[in-house]
Structure 1
């Protein structure tokens, strides 16, 4: 039986609702007819019958929330007009990359001059950097267009990435839930969340990791469908030929898996945390392959996956990821001034014996990577905004990027005292609701084994769980931007369960719609309340203090 959902999308009547993954209600008794749907459902259904309405809604919702994201991220993007938090590293590194091909060093206390427009104080001496170059090259694109003297140029690249990520999340959510409504809600929540807004208005690296991993996540979603289709075709050919299915096929043509390898490699070329996505989703692909083979009746589905498909999955992902990572270091290889670039040329540093044939540039590169690993793993210097990852899901210690206090009459302050500050705190209602949904999804995966839930949780596994292993080093709450899209997808999955379906009973449908509407209203209201402290607006000190809900928020 085929029918249309509230979006006008075709649904197939099965035991599990395609739009939200919710179990459909059993058919009512023949002796009892329950009213279903609401007047709003009926009105919406009539509206979608207007010629062109379905197509307008299909694209109108995603475009609307993307435009909203653009406004919230681009308006006053140049404020504050000074380097904020770790912008002091990445903006200046990006500028020297653009000029030298590698990260050059700066004199001490160079920020004041840089803020004032003097961007020429760098030297040709290589600077020690703890992260690969790709994210800084992306920041450099904005500097190339606007110039390093313009604060908009510092941040425009990460802002554009943050806007595109909203649209991308809508597309992924629609592919997951087959619902433009749920997809638009997902994009809307991402558009108005403070953590995503701040990370899109600050020239840090984490937004770039987020979008590359989200693109990789989308590629894995597409590969999941494509590989299942190819498995079905292979089984059909074997059946027609009267041949057994033994271990199953070795599927080589998986372009979306190739794409995922490149994208996760690009994420790793921004920050090494992208490696966790590469590893997690390579394993995920094998598990999905094994389950698909078992469902198809292949006798040796585990052995076939490990022996036949496993090596292919490795070859389709890891070499491309490595090549992408190495390509990001091209500037370091083709110049001579990068940090440790000539390490192996120094007498006594080059390898001897079996590895003596390795070019000195490669030996120097491996030494550099080893040094960066040691630094990243052992970095535990004290910082007032260091946040234990066990508290990230509860917003215990968000990062304050910027703060300036102003007395009355200074800087346009017309109150007893004013403040301008930027804090990368998420919308608390949205974040805490998403955390609650996350724990429910864990239960739901165990109880129902739904593939959508498993895929969403794998995003959390790759983006969050590895940080728990490094709870003793200096890390920050804002790293959570890498897994925020999956938190939102999990929350929207639960919203879909609460909304139900248009053919649910009127009482159940009305109650679900009311609950979701009230929740979304308060999320929007709270985003408006927090927006000034996400964007560095000048506010009365008293108003600023109203945002200190927990001790760790000060």
Structure 2
């Protein structure tokens, strides 16, 4: 590829994903507050976000209020009592929701969902840039951004004030930073290893210096854990992945003791750069709880004096630890019947998408002009992403295990971190909407397969032409699917007969 062609490719690697982000962003923000009521679990996180803004910690709702959601929806902020609330998720995502409420007011459902729509929109561009770093192909970068923009699961989360979209955002940011670190580390290794005249005294290879991108990833993963504890799985998987990248780079460069070099010169510093930094970031995310006196179990340590070595731990940290023990007990023991609970086996094939909102007006009600109508919001993903990934995951797994394709491993990493751990909780009540955390990596799995179809520079012009035809056709079909299902992503009033056609699998209703 010539210099002019390379520059043009680089420009389109920005313009293509930017265009996908702009279109996806408009779709996410238009009529964002149309359903002016707390839907699904917004009843928890939207109110808790405002409590954080007001008090620095989450307060419980007043005991004598019968309809706190209606009062809050109508702009009545005074729904909180003075007692703390036992909340079972860390505060970062709720602070982000609260920021939108602070900007636009609590009587604005646009404000409740603003932060979710913002990070949902930005993640479209970010995934496009991630695809560029992985393939250096503007077409694939644009494809990745477009597929995320038209995925219904991502779209619905981008328009709802829940925590999981923020978990997805922070782990995706961390993934981008680690790709930048991979690129920079290889450049440093090439320069520093190439300048060594006598390599017999440096069997482990050179030090690669301060890894600022990796530290930034640690901060992002700390914020992910500060949104939901499941961010810790991404921290573990990404930490292993980035060290494996370093080991492979040392081996490819001809470092004789590449494994030891990877462990001691890369792995140990990586632990402190990622796990250490993430832990400090997570602790800092509780600043509101530390800085105030009313949070749940804030004064627990005063009533439970320390003994032995525990006396060296500050009381606020002991209280926070006791709080975390109670939350852990809640999460591991959560077992209750719920109509929309689903087994993780069904997630990737969209066996049981989560119902976020539904209304069933009859003729003459809510603008319904036929015998029966429906307003419905479901987290159903775009089947060209989800079913495509369900098939593609086997191809990508083969490429990783037998082809040693690092891109395939990177595409699988988010699925490994975001999906597989839930199989350990078969008896716990869990829902398919959790899958938003790894949705971008499902897109990357599809893009990995489309990259094979597209063909590389070595392919013939005819081969590449038909590859482009297939790839573009696939993306257009995904766009058409999104357009067809748009009414059940935004709660649009439609005839119930149309809704029945769209929800053609019994498990979707």
The interval holding the TM-score normalised by the smaller chain is over 0.9
Distance 1:380 1:541 in 2: 33
**In the alignment, which residue of structure 2 is the partner of 1:24?**
none
Task: Compare CA radii of gyration and give the structure with the larger one.
Answer: 1
Verify: 1:433 aligned to 2:388, yes or no.
yes
**In the alignment, which residue of structure 2 is the partner of 1:121?**
79
Q: Quick one: structure 1 residues 259 and 540, their matched pair in 2 at CA, closer, same or farther if it must change by over 3 Å? A: same
Verify: 1:130 aligned to 2:85, yes or no.
no
Measured after TM superposition, the shift of residue 508 of structure 1 is 3.0
Q: Give me the CA root mean square deviation.
A: 1.8
Measured after TM superposition, the shift of residue 357 of structure 1 is 3.6
Distance 2:233 2:209 in 1: 24
Q: SS at 2:503's partner residue?
A: coil
**In the alignment, which residue of structure 2 is the partner of 1:524?**
479
Distance 1:474 1:73 in 2: 29
**In the alignment, which residue of structure 2 is the partner of 1:20?**
none
Question: What's the TM-score, normalizing by structure 1?
Answer: 0.88
**In the alignment, which residue of structure 1 is the partner of 2:6?**
9
- RCO comparison, higher one (Cα < 8 Å, 6+): 1
Residue correspondence of structure 1 range 152-551 to structure 2 within 5 A = 152-239=110-197, 243-346=200-303, 349-501=304-456, 504-505=459-460, 507-551=462-506
List runs of 5+ in structure 1 lacking aligned partners.
Answer: 11-47, 49-53
Q: SS at 1:406's partner residue?
A: coil
Measured after TM superposition, the shift of residue 245 of structure 1 is 2.3
Distance 1:129 1:532 in 2: 33
Residue correspondences, number = 506
Residue correspondence of structure 1 range 58-77 to structure 2 within 5 A = 58-77=13-32
Distance 1:252 1:551 in 2: 56
Q: SS at 2:443's partner residue?
A: helix
Measured after TM superposition, the shift of residue 136 of structure 1 is 0.3
Question: What's the TM-score, normalizing by structure 2?
Answer: 0.95
Measured after TM superposition, the shift of residue 317 of structure 1 is 1.5
Q: Could you tell me whether the CA contact under 8 Å between 2:177 and 2:214 is conserved in 1? A: yes
Distance 2:292 2:508 in 1: 45
Measured after TM superposition, the shift of residue 415 of structure 1 is 1.1
Residue correspondence of structure 1 range 77-88 to structure 2 within 5 A = 77-88=32-43
Q: SS at 2:306's partner residue?
A: coil
Distance 1:176 1:529 in 2: 31
Q: Could you tell me whether the CA contact under 8 Å between 1:72 and 1:192 is conserved in 2? A: no
Distance 1:383 1:196 in 2: 23
Measured after TM superposition, the shift of residue 295 of structure 1 is 2.0
Measured after TM superposition, the shift of residue 236 of structure 1 is 2.4
Q: Could you tell me whether the CA contact under 8 Å between 1:158 and 1:208 is conserved in 2? A: yes
Q: SS at 1:8's partner residue?
A: helix
Q: Quick one: structure 1 residues 58 and 442, their matched pair in 2 at CA, closer, same or farther if it must change by over 3 Å? A: closer
Q: Could you tell me whether the CA contact under 8 Å between 2:385 and 2:442 is conserved in 1? A: no
Structure 1 residue ranges, 4+ long, deviating more than 6 angstroms after superposition: none
Q: Quick one: structure 1 residues 295 and 363, their matched pair in 2 at CA, closer, same or farther if it must change by over 3 Å? A: same
Distance 1:457 1:548 in 2: 29
Higher helix share: 2
Q: SS at 2:288's partner residue?
A: helix
List runs of 5+ in structure 2 lacking aligned partners.
Answer: none
